[in-house]
Structure 1
Amino acid sequence: MNSSDTNNRNVRKLRLISREFAGFEASFGVQAEHFEKLSGWRVEREFEEIHKLYDRMVTSREALSGAHDLFLCVTDWLPEAIREGLLLPLDRFLQEDPPEGWPDAWAPSMRGLQTGEDGRIYGIAYHDGPEMFIYRSDLFTDGEERLAFAREYGYPLDVPATWKQFVDVAKFFTRPEQGMYGAVTASFPDGHNNVYDFLIHLWSRGGHLLTPDGKAAFQHEAGREALQFLVDLIHKHRVVPPEALEMDSVRSGDYFAQGGAAMMWNWAGFAAVADMPHMSKITGKVRTGLIPKGDGPQGRHMSLNIYWILGIAAGSRNPEAAYRFIKETASAEMDKATSLCGGNGTRLSTWRDEEVRRQFPYYEHIERVHQQVNSPPPIPEYPAMNEVLSHMVNDALRLKKDVASALDQAAKQIDDILAHRRA
């Protein structure tokens, strides 16, 4: 046995599993290198497609196996993960050795969803959305485009405030012969953006997912308008590329960054991707704003508050070292690194940092967006509900079912899921 084999066997290792995303791979790379220099612990990193990540870590309970020390977990999964004992509570660590500035260095919206019904804290926010409206500013400010739009639609070209205006602008910029569509959506049925798109449209029209007593409420007028709108973008207005049905949030963000669409609503991190010269053809031409609202009296600008937390897998053999990595990664320096690598840091200091804002102007809007957000219900049954909603949206988008039938069937299934909770 040579000396390198012996050294490799003696290296102390943490094992981290995350959703696959170039921004996460880059930021965890920086943070792992920093932590190894600081502590001597090597952080081995694995990146998995989002659906498979849930199936492995939550459904198959791999978080208990000892194969991983650190688990990047989205807040949608947390109630189930907490109920099933898949994450370790951090309260003892936070009391004895809190991260820099804890807890006031984070906005309240970045601290609530990782707190269980038992009052204990199961992770620290690592990557924030939020979903924002993202658009090509060069197209909106072009003089000829502005004149042509005003002639065709009778009002000035501007960032759309309502969904009706969004359709007008999307139609105007849809030019398939030039490789350009008015918009791009993330419509792949991965239970992620296809569901979140429906929720944003539902909420922006004043609708609700559930009634106060925990029954389906999304199958009524606002829900019908929301789902029909998503179907019509692809099949009626044809302002979205047909291949959007196979795009998740990452692929749709890449499509936008390559100049294929004028607008999208997506996670703010994809505005960062579109401003990175080595990843984008439209660097310096990207701006963000509020997501459009419904056109009726109940219309409101809404975004989605979910985020990714870094927690300790319950089967970790190195929980003390795992917490040290979480604490160090939550520092102002390392949180800023998350943003500079293409993710979204979660500390107020990162959101307000001048260097970050110069590179990614959308950070100027994040705190404002967080004033108008909603979240999926923080209950253990939500992942099962989410799967129903994902099938509902996919059936409608692929014209397997009409909108009303898809909504009604999903509402009945969700009522059945929640009936067990009430029993």
Structure 2
Amino acid sequence: MKHSNRIRGALGCVAAGALAVAVGVTSAQAQSAAEVAVEAAKQYSGTTLNVLYEAGLQPLDPKNFTGPMWEELTGIKINVIEAPLDEIFTKTMQAYRAGSGAYDVLNVVPNQMPDLALAGALEPLNSYVEKYGYAGELETIAPVYRDNQMKVEDTIYGLPDDGDVLVFYYRRDIFEDPENMAAFKEQYGYDLAPPTTWEQFSEIGQFITDKYAPEMYGAGMLRQPGNAQYLFQERFRVEGGEFFDPETMQATVNSDVGVKVFEAMLAENEFMPPGVEQWGFIEAFNAFLAGDIAMTISWPPVGRWAAGYGKGTEALNWIPETTVADKIGYALPPGGTPELAVGFSLAVASDSQNKDAAYLFIQWMNSEDISIQRVQLPFALRDPFRTSHFESEEYRSRWSNAGDYLDTLKAGAETGLLDLSLIQTDRYEEGIRQAISRLWAGDEPQVILDDLAAQWDELTERIGVEDQKRVYADWASKPNAYPN
């Protein structure tokens, strides 16, 4: 894909700067992780690495930016193989079972890592981290990603590489309007501000809808089941729910908490735009940019694109004009523990014929020097995941309140909740998706969740209770599996 001259020029400057960093080392200076990777990788010049990436905007990074830069620095070519998100796990497993060596570098969704690691599809990385001196820079990855998305039990299988987290976005002009503030305080007895509980969210949403609809509604949310299941996972735990009894592995998703969350989600649709039950990422994003809704929850790209960051980039010409560029507020969702919702870690395929070269490429991409450039690419979807990303003065100057945006992402990187991770996680998640579809269709919440629990129990029995219990215990022991 071609880019405008302005974007090509900007990328050229960044690439030139990175090249200078990579080769401008004096003997008196300690080498950074990026520099170590470049020097070590030169011995593999002429090699081609096959890199599996999510289709869409994600591959524009290795295709147009890091791939060409890496080849210039090391002589190693990068061949990007694209696959839809919901096919990456399957393609990884198929290649491993066939022993094809089809991939060298893998993008792994963190909650699928235990499944892949236990199957043997991922190369353990501890020895590579030690060999190439990467332990120090791994410590500067934000805790929620470093402590939760890198290891299975005590073994490193991936380098956390994407700060996915669900952020609360709201219209500052609506919340800070003196008339709205006074009327809301009189009606509800507390200040109009980003909600810290889901009860407040409902009251604020109804207040705004009552005043502004149909021109603007109080909120519009991710309600298409594939997206809404992440909101359910988050909210269920925020309200005090646990997915399983840790002793028996019996599903407890059909508890009073689960029913409460389902009933509340259904009731909230009443103050959202008609048809919201079918909204996915694009519908909610477009409605927020158009000024049709005052609150939404979504992934980090919404926050920067709605502010106008990347405008004029050819790869982003599908984004409509934003009407809220100078009106956006950023906060954590109610409860203060946002769902991390997907994300990626970089891994090495266990059947790769180029393991050292593959590892060196992911160390270089993931490093302090290179990752700060990658997360600022306007057309890519890698979100900040290092302390240095959140604190970067360059990034904080990108738009008027980029600092607020990065501060919010940093807060989410401290309290964010992990996606449920099990053997065959996708089957458990599919159960949630089906349950949400039934909720929108009008079935009773308790009946839906009883059926979901029975479905999960049957699946656990089929997989093996003790095997699943081991994986669940490892996941549940992580700092961000449940709210502290």
Compared with structure 1, are the counterparts of its residues 377 and 162 closer, same or farther at alpha carbon in structure 2 (3 Å cutoff)? Answer: closer
Range that drifts further, 370-379 or 387-396: 370-379
Q: How many residues align?
A: 399
1:170-228 CA distance string (max 9 Å, x none) = 233345542x33222222233xx322111111112111112222221121111111112
Q: Does 1:391 align with 2:423?
A: no
Q: Does 1:188 align with 2:242?
A: no
Q: Of 382, 388, 404, which residue of structure 2 is paired with 1:349?
A: 388
Match of 1:242 in 2: 275
The answer on whether the counterparts of 1:91 and 1:120 sit within 8 Å (CA) in structure 2 is yes
Quick one: which amino acid aligns to residue 230 of structure 1? M
- CA deviation after TM superposition for structure 1 residue 93, in Å: 1.4
Q: Of 49, 61, 67, which residue of structure 2 is paired with 1:32?
A: 67
- CA deviation after TM superposition for structure 1 residue 388, in Å: 1.4
Q: Does 1:411 align with 2:453?
A: yes
Q: Which whole-Å CA distance do the structure 2 matches of 1:152 and 1:122 have between them?
A: 53
Alignment of 1:173-252 (within 5 A): 173-174=208-209, 175=212, 177-178=214-215, 180-190=216-226, 193-213=227-247, 214-234=249-269, 237-247=270-280, 249=281, 252=284
Q: Does 1:288 align with 2:330?
A: yes
Match of 2:27 in 1: none
- CA deviation after TM superposition for structure 1 residue 149, in Å: 4.1
Q: Which whole-Å CA distance do the structure 2 matches of 1:219 and 1:340 have between them?
A: 42
Q: Does 1:324 align with 2:324?
A: no
TM-score for both structures, normalised by structure 1: 0.84
Quick one: which amino acid aligns to residue 284 of structure 1? D
The answer on whether the counterparts of 1:98 and 1:327 sit within 8 Å (CA) in structure 2 is no
TM-score for both structures, normalised by structure 2: 0.74
Quick one: which amino acid aligns to residue 328 of structure 1? W
Quick one: which amino acid aligns to residue 120 of structure 2? G
Q: Of 54, 60, 64, which residue of structure 2 is paired with 1:19?
A: 54
The answer on whether the counterparts of 1:233 and 1:239 sit within 8 Å (CA) in structure 2 is yes
Q: Of 437, 456, 464, which residue of structure 2 is paired with 1:421?
A: 464
Alignment of 1:260-409 (within 5 A): 260-277=292-309, 278=311, 279=319, 281=322, 282-293=324-335, 301-305=336-340, 307-341=343-377, 342-359=381-398, 360=402, 361-399=404-442, 401-409=443-451
Q: Of 145, 164, 168, which residue of structure 2 is paired with 1:133?
A: 168
Q: Which whole-Å CA distance do the structure 1 matches of 2:250 and 2:431 have between them?
A: 14
The answer on whether the counterparts of 2:219 and 2:272 sit within 8 Å (CA) in structure 1 is yes
SS at match of 2:218: strand
Give 1 or 2: higher strand fraction: 1
Q: Which whole-Å CA distance do the structure 2 matches of 1:257 and 1:329 have between them?
A: 32
Q: Which whole-Å CA distance do the structure 2 matches of 1:182 and 1:63 have between them?
A: 51
Compared with structure 1, are the counterparts of its residues 270 and 62 closer, same or farther at alpha carbon in structure 2 (3 Å cutoff)? Answer: farther
Q: Which whole-Å CA distance do the structure 2 matches of 1:218 and 1:109 have between them?
A: 24
Range that drifts further, 363-372 or 284-293: 363-372
- CA deviation after TM superposition for structure 1 residue 26, in Å: 4.3
SS at match of 2:397: helix
- CA deviation after TM superposition for structure 1 residue 108, in Å: 3.2
Stretches of structure 2 that go unaligned for 5 or more consecutive residues are: 1-44, 312-318, 467-484
SS at match of 1:326: helix
Compared with structure 1, are the counterparts of its residues 334 and 319 closer, same or farther at alpha carbon in structure 2 (3 Å cutoff)? Answer: same
Quick one: which amino acid aligns to residue 327 of structure 2? K
SS at match of 1:79: helix
Alignment RMSD (CA, Å):
2.8
Q: Does 1:98 align with 2:113?
A: no
Q: Which whole-Å CA distance do the structure 2 matches of 1:34 and 1:60 have between them?
A: 28
Compared with structure 1, are the counterparts of its residues 111 and 390 closer, same or farther at alpha carbon in structure 2 (3 Å cutoff)? Answer: same
- CA deviation after TM superposition for structure 1 residue 383, in Å: 2.7
Q: Does 1:85 align with 2:85?
A: no
Compared with structure 1, are the counterparts of its residues 365 and 64 closer, same or farther at alpha carbon in structure 2 (3 Å cutoff)? Answer: farther
Quick one: which amino acid aligns to residue 236 of structure 2? L
